[in-house]
Structure 1
Amino acid sequence: MVKIGCSSLFFWEYEFDEIVDIYNDIGLKYMEFVPENPAFWKKRNDLDYVLNVKKILSKLNITVHSPYIELNPSSNNENIREITLKETLWAIELSKLLNSKFVTIHAGKRPTKRVPTLEEYVNFYEYLKKCEEYALINDISLCLENSTKKVNHICYLVCEMEKTLENFKNLNLTLDFAHARGDSTDFVKVLYKYIKNVHISGVNGKDHYPISSSKIDFSKPLNDLLYKYKYNGVLNLELNDLIYKKTLSKFEKIEILVNEVSYIEKMLE
């Protein structure tokens, strides 16, 4: 049975009791929880609220995505690096609280649109070292997500991701198919043993379209990952509601999600 989940950010405008009800109603058992959902982010220091969210989310199997908006572990600005590390360590603690086994983090980037220098890599590896140690102490699997292919990004190449994973023995991979694009087959073939979490969506000019409207066919690498390499983790849908020309209603989002789940299940029959 294929395990399919969805990022909480697709329903960013709703409270978590409503989001969980939506997932339960359509039969989804998995969620990638992004704490930057506005309702949670504004109340995250309220312990009573967080414990109530924990109770609500206990109806699903949860993975956690560390905060990433406005953050950069490779920044030349030491204050940005410091807060990025702080937020990631907090996400590891949150994952433990929510009984999640995985935390996904983003790779670094050079702040300007130029090829990363040694300085950015040194900053990034120092960040990884500290996060890896803290995740190990808390019995959490830390998963590095492959980046989009941009000149200033770190870890969008298979070879670079492989080198990073080899250097950090307790680091795993969140494979984002839309980020990998045409390299997704190579990511699966070379790095399958590191893959503990998956983001799935389509590419239609930009990333995170419904996979049913993707211009790139991911069926072969997905099938290889599940059936050839025996991946038994979750396929988390990452859908961006900003690609639509209008504001989607709750029922329109539900319809899109139901269609995507059905499409993936047929793809993997």
Structure 2
Amino acid sequence: MLRTGVSSMFLHEFCLNSIFSGILQAGLDTVEFWLETPSFWTTGRNISDLKNVLDEFPSFSPITIHAPTLDLNPISINPEVAAVSVDAVSSAIQTADELRAEVITIHPGRRTAKRPPSRADMHRFAIYMEAVEAASCGLSAAVAIENMEPKINSLLTTPGAIRDVLDEYPHLFFTFDYAHACRGGGDVLEFIRLNSDRIRNVHASYGSSDRVHAPLAGSEKMGELTSLLASSGYDGPVIFEIEDLGLSKMLTYEEKCRLLSLEVDSFWKAWHKGVDLSL
């Protein structure tokens, strides 16, 4: 079922109960809980406490999870950094299962040097994928790898690169990040055309050559995104992933909730308009 949600990091300044209350107040259906959300990550990372708070918001179930990424790189040239990073993702997959999450999003890592990924980097990526497969074996949460913003040392920035990885690793699914795809300036539709059979999660925000992870409401890109999703038959979570530092000013809690409400209202209006036009 198509459901809208938001990354918990958009409300990163607040306690868990306030984060989830704001999401509910804004009219969203679920949350993508980024494990590095400070009120969880820096206070002991107690899974039982997180479960107890989530139990107060049963309509969010099943949630989605985002694995840790800050300071981490599972394909780092430094073996110790790579090992810690792979362990963090493997642990996050277990946490997603404990929380009965629908899907967990992971990042592919990046070349340590500011150069295009090499064969050695792809070898380290293969080792990482083996660890991901081992960690997820027998668990219910789908593991979905995300397309990255097109930087010189990034992996998985093109539709074809995503398809190649999905073909090589049949246990893996795809989190389609719309802003990252738009940032590349290529054919966004190709991401859907090549990979729609494996999409289990969508990150929704505005992306262009000069902005990324901005709100979609009021832009033509909201209609483009809903049209792409509707035409592909997508019916999973759509997670608004907005970077608050990219906004024109710092927002209060109430202002952030209003922004989210505007995003979700705009999404459903664009969605229903597209459906009506197709009839």
Please tell me whether residue 263 in structure 1 is matched to residue 266 in structure 2: yes
Q: What is residue 238 of structure 1 aligned with on the other side?
A: 241
In the alignment, structure 2 segments of 5+ residues that lack a partner are 273-279
Identical amino acids, percent of aligned pairs: 28
Residues 204-215 of structure 1 aligned to structure 2 (within 5 Å): 204=208, 205-212=210-217, 214=219
Residues 197-236 of structure 1 aligned to structure 2 (within 5 Å): 197-204=201-208, 205-212=210-217, 214=219, 217=221, 219-226=223-230, 228-236=231-239
Kept in 2, the 8 Å contact 1:177–1:218? The answer is: no
Residues 1-269 of structure 1 aligned to structure 2 (within 5 Å): 2-46=2-46, 48-56=48-56, 58-61=58-61, 62-181=63-182, 182=185, 183-204=187-208, 205-212=210-217, 214=219, 217=221, 219-226=223-230, 228-269=231-272
Alpha-carbon displacement from aligned partner over 1:96-146 (angstroms, at most 9, x marks no partner): 111102110001211121111111111111101210222122222110000
Q: What is residue 276 of structure 2 aligned with on the other side?
A: none
CA deviation after TM superposition for structure 1 residue 49, in Å: 2.9
Return the alpha-carbon distance in structure 1 between the equivalents of residues 53 and 145 of structure 2: 25
Cα gap change, 1:47/1:203 in structure 2, threshold over 3 Å: closer, same or farther?
closer
Return the alpha-carbon distance in structure 2 between the equivalents of residues 145 and 57 of structure 1: 27
Cα gap change, 1:209/1:230 in structure 2, threshold over 3 Å: closer, same or farther?
same
CA deviation after TM superposition for structure 1 residue 29, in Å: 1.8
CA deviation after TM superposition for structure 1 residue 54, in Å: 4.2
Larger displacement relative to structure 2 (194-203 or 130-139): 130-139
Return the alpha-carbon distance in structure 1 between the equivalents of residues 222 and 51 of structure 2: 38
CA deviation after TM superposition for structure 1 residue 237, in Å: 0.1
Alpha-carbon displacement from aligned partner over 1:7-59 (angstroms, at most 9, x marks no partner): 10000011111122122223222110001111100124445534434434544
- In the superposition, the TM-score normalised over structure 1's length comes to 0.93
Cα gap change, 1:110/1:195 in structure 2, threshold over 3 Å: closer, same or farther?
same
